[in-house]
Amino acid sequence: MKATETLIIGGGVIGLSIAYELLKRGQPVHVLEQNRSGEGATRAAAGMLATDHELIPDLHQLAAASRQLYPHLVRELFNETGIDSGYKENPFRMKTADRDVTFASVGQLDPVQLTRSLRQAIVTRGGQIEEQTTVTGLLQSQATVSGVETTRGKRQARHVVIASGRGSEALLATSGVCIRTVPVKGECLAVRLPGHVLTETLFSDDVYLVPKFDGRIIIGATERPGDETTTVSVGGIAQLLQSAIRLFPAIEEAEIVQIWSGIRPQTADGLPYIGPVSGIERLFVATGHHRHGILLAPVTAALIADYVTGSVSTVESGAVALTESRRNKHGAHH
């Protein structure tokens, strides 16, 4: 198979956002996804663009930059594909043990619609998306990456970006690069509540309720560290519903329309890994976003595209770089 400029491993919101950004910069891309695009952690997300009150301080600057990118991104995608990403801004009330504050306007969107629009835009722009293809290892010539080995043969490329969530750890290990992420399963459900309109996002210590553009309300999410199963437990859903009813009593009359779970990769310090992999030329990583993959997707894409194309970035990314100190601290480095 003919070599491409950039191979992107992982077809979730992070991988697809990177592919779209690179295509806009005139860079050919080929996305490899072991299942179907957007079917992993992305599908399980509620799509909230979190406030800084929910984020650790080192993420505030990245989050602010990413929020600013979203309105233009979703308009651009709609103009190209006709697919509405469900972006809207509505009041956001945070009611936790130590604060009760309402923000006048916080953005949110529909992750499934967003990935549909990204996928269509990538294909329209000439990018390749190859699904049902598992990457088993990296191809290297000395200390320079040259592509990947897959269950369907070799794929050659000038650059490789690993953006495959939890799978990133095992793939990096095939070239002796060790990071450590913990799987955190999150269970969610969607309900409809005829006759009651929830006009604000509600967020507490135990649960959040997110009203979507199509009338659904997303209730989430449990946090089960170390659990990499894809099942949904009765106990987890019961816990969410009890907390949701306390926060918004009318929800007791709602109809359940969907229940699901997703696995999110979390790093030891709570920060994702975004940037080049030291010691291996032309290899980049974008993983470990945990609950903030949707929020950070546009800025992650911009940063990786800057690295790949050699552009000067206006976003400070030192805190999320895959430095030797982070690698040595969070996973053995061979």
The structural domains of the chain, with segments of one domain joined by +, span: 4-87+107-182+267-330, 184-264
How far, in Å, CA of 212 to CA of 197, rounded? 11
Terminal Cα distance for the chain, rounded: 31
What pLDDT does 314 receive? 84
pLDDT tens digit sequence for 94-142: 988 888 899 999 999 999 999 999 999 999 999 999 999 999 999 998 8
* Residue 332 pLDDT class (50, 70, 90 cuts): very low
* Residue 206 pLDDT class (50, 70, 90 cuts): very high
pTM for the full model? 0.93
Partner residues linked to 256 by β-bridges:
191
Q: Which long-range contacts (CB under 8 A, 24 or more apart) does 208-211 make?
A: 208/46, 208/48, 209/244, 209/247, 209/248, 209/251, 210/46, 210/47, 210/48, 210/108, 211/90
* Residue 164 pLDDT class (50, 70, 90 cuts): very high
Q: If 0-12 CB within 10 Å is exposed, 13-18 middle and 19+ buried, where does residue 160 land?
A: buried
Q: Could you give the percent of the chain with pLDDT greater than 70?
A: 96
Strands (E), 125-238: 128-130, 135-141, 144-150, 153-162, 181-192, 201-204, 208-211, 216-220, 224-225
> With 90 as the cut, is the pLDDT of residue 196 above it?
no
> 4-87+107-182+267-330 falls under which CATH superfamily?
FAD/NAD(P)-binding domain (3.50.50.60)
What pLDDT does 43 receive? 74
What pLDDT does 333 receive? 34
What pLDDT does 38 receive? 77
> With 70 as the cut, is the pLDDT of residue 319 above it?
yes
The predicted model gives 245-256 an average pLDDT of 95
What pLDDT does 334 receive? 32
Of the candidate ranges 30-39, 129-138, 286-295, 314-323, the one whose mean pLDDT is the lowest: 314-323
Quote the tokens at residue 164: 């495959």
Name the DSSP letter for residue 151: T
**Domain 184-264: top CATH class:** alpha beta
Q: Could you give the percent of the chain with pLDDT greater than 90?
A: 76
The predicted model gives 282-295 an average pLDDT of 95
Quote the tokens at residue 59: 């993420």
How far, in Å, CA of 100 to CA of 93, rounded? 7
How far, in Å, CA of 103 to CA of 94, rounded? 8
> With 70 as the cut, is the pLDDT of residue 242 above it?
yes
Element of type H or E holding 102: strand 100-108
Classify strands 153-162 and 144-150 as parallel, antiparallel or unpaired.
antiparallel
pLDDT tens digit sequence for 53-78: 889 999 999 999 999 999 999 999 99
Question: Do the first three CATH levels of 4-87+107-182+267-330 and 184-264 match, i.e. the same topology?
Answer: no
What pLDDT does 122 receive? 98
How far, in Å, CA of 56 to CA of 62, rounded? 11
pLDDT tens digit sequence for 21-58: 999 999 999 999 998 887 777 777 889 998 888 899 99
